[in-house]
Amino acid sequence: CDHTCTDTSTGIQCSCREGYALEDDSVTCSDINECVLATHSCVEGQICFNTLGSFTCQRLISCGTGYELTDRNTCDDIDECQLNIDNCGDKLNCINIRGSFRCVAKSCDAGYFTDAVGGCIDIDECILGAHECADGETCVNTEGSFNCIQRPSLTCTAGYEISDDGESCIDVNECDRGTHTCSSGSTCINEEGSFRCQDPIICTPGTRPSSNQRSCIDIDECEDPLIHQCGEGARCVNVPGSFRCECNRGYRTTFQGSRTRCQGKVFQINLAKKSYHCGDKNTGRLAAIDNYLGIHINECALAAGERCMYRCRNSPGSYSCVCPSGYNLERFDGTCTDIDECNTNQHNCSRSETCFNTRGGFKCVEITCPAHYARLSNRKRCVRQSCKAATNKRSCIRLPKQISHHNISVRNNAAPGTTLFRMSLAKGYPKDRYYFMLTKGNEDMLFRASKRRFKKRKSGIVYATRKLTGPKDYVVDLTLKLYRKRRWATFISRLYIFVSEFH
């Protein structure tokens, strides 16, 4: 027998275990397929699988997310919280529910609200108007609360402070207060709303530092006879980095070492006949070349005319250097320096206009501040006022915090790549995000803005992509977008670029 053998009075009898059937030979046991014979006990939604001596019922549909199939063929809930497979993180509490879990925010203190990921975020009571500050007080937000302080609603940007009368913003002199960041050996120079560090300048012999310490200028040795020592009968001619002695008419040139000396003098000149008599100064005796015809010399065509920066004007027996309108002729060296009509009050701008000095002239610019802006004392900067009383606070906050106006005077045919303007962040934080872009007046892509580091400060510069040919004027807006402390702020520098017709 395959399974069970039983001894009876009539002989041996074979039998099979449950789930099997005895074959016709009365010895062999074969499996009963309950699934085929439909003798199983599977319910609707289950499928029958035959096994040796039995069967199993398997669910047609899986248990789904949040459940697991047990060996009892049932679906049990998975406790994600206990198994630490939730994604609530440290800021949220995990609570298990059937088939899933729930992240519940931990309670935040007063003055904070819970964000989408369970963090406690400070409530800005000042922007939401949820403060209790009285009229005449200004709300200042703090972490978890706010303060009411007695001060004007006018706020000043970095580099400025409220004046004593509380009506305007005045420049902070970082150099006098010692709040600058200039390194040892550098000179702090205060500017409107900021400062700059001037490194010591080293000049070559014959030159000296300029008054603003930005460049080297020529020393005019001709101003001091003790320096040039050209002597009688000679005139001193200043040249870049040095000087030379030239003999006057009627003197002959001699050399004593490296020095130029002039001897002999004309003592009788007849300009009407264009003739002269040469003789010795001491004896009065005429020289053998008496009554030779004098030849008029055009100094402008010679090396002497090269000292004139703008134009040389020849005259009988001499020459002079001239400058275009708007420039002054510097004595001795023929240099033309721009006249600052704005500082010297030689302009004709009205009271409502701002004078911008240019190379060889000036421009009168009407600067008006938009609504909700206050003009600072220097008339070139507009600062957004407090948005507390604004009808639409959200739109007010999105306005630029500051609009500043800048005068940029450029010589004719300025080379491409020349830096025209630099804009720096007063302070920098590691998580700052900032962008510089030209948002107005650059339709022909003549200018470009890019990020730069200047004196370890985050900065942006504007430069020309092509040669600037004058005379021509441009008005370009450089916009700074700064993301700091979870907020975006916008600053605009309006650049008035005046390209001169002169080099």
Query: How many CA atoms does the CB half-sphere of 267 hold within 13 Å?
Result: 11
CB 464 within 8 A of CB 418: yes
Does the domain formed by 296-338 have CATH 3.10.180.10? no
CB 498 within 8 A of CB 409: yes
- At 250 the pLDDT is 66
Pick the CATH number of 354-499 from 2.40.40.20, 3.30.70.2520, 1.10.10.970, 2.60.40.60: 2.60.40.60
- The pair of structure tokens assigned to 452 is 């730069």
Q: What CATH number does the domain located at 4-63+71-76 have?
A: 2.10.25
Roughly how many angstroms between the first and final C-alpha of the chain, as a whole number? Answer: 122
Pairing of strands 487-499, 402-410: parallel
Residues near 129 by beta carbon (within 8 Å), at least 6 away in sequence: none
Calpha distance 480→490 (Å, rounded): 6
Q: Where are the domains of the chain?
A: 4-63+71-76, 172-201, 296-338, 354-499
- At 258 the pLDDT is 60
Query: How many CA atoms does the CB half-sphere of 419 hold within 13 Å?
Result: 10
- At 314 the pLDDT is 84
pLDDT in tens, the chain (503 residues): 888 888 888 888 899 999 999 888 888 999 999 988 889 988 887 888 889 999 988 877 777 788 887 767 778 888 989 888 888 887 788 889 998 998 887 778 888 887 766 678 888 888 888 888 887 678 888 988 998 877 555 678 888 888 776 667 888 999 998 888 888 878 888 888 888 887 777 788 888 887 766 678 888 888 888 888 887 778 888 888 888 888 877 677 776 666 667 766 444 444 344 444 444 444 333 343 333 334 456 778 877 778 888 888 887 767 888 899 899 887 667 889 999 999 888 999 988 889 999 999 999 999 989 888 888 766 788 998 888 877 888 888 889 999 999 999 999 999 999 899 999 887 777 788 899 999 999 998 999 999 888 877 888 999 999 999 989 999 999 999 998 888 889 999 999 999 998 87
Helix intervals (H) in 123-231:
125-128, 174-177, 225-228
Taking the mean position of all CA atoms in its chain, how far away is CA 123? 31
Calpha distance 143→260 (Å, rounded): 80
CB 154 within 8 A of CB 138: no
Residues near 27 by beta carbon (within 8 Å), at least 6 away in sequence: 1, 2, 14
- DSSP reduced 3-state for 308: coil
Residues near 367 by beta carbon (within 8 Å), at least 6 away in sequence: 353, 354, 375, 379, 380, 382, 405
Calpha distance 409→74 (Å, rounded): 85
Q: Is 296-338 in the same CATH topology as 4-63+71-76?
A: yes
Q: Where are the beta strands (DSSP E) in 291-345?
A: 311-315, 318-322, 327-329, 336-338
- Residue 267 CB-density burial (10 A; 0-12 exposed, 13-18 middle, 19+ buried): middle
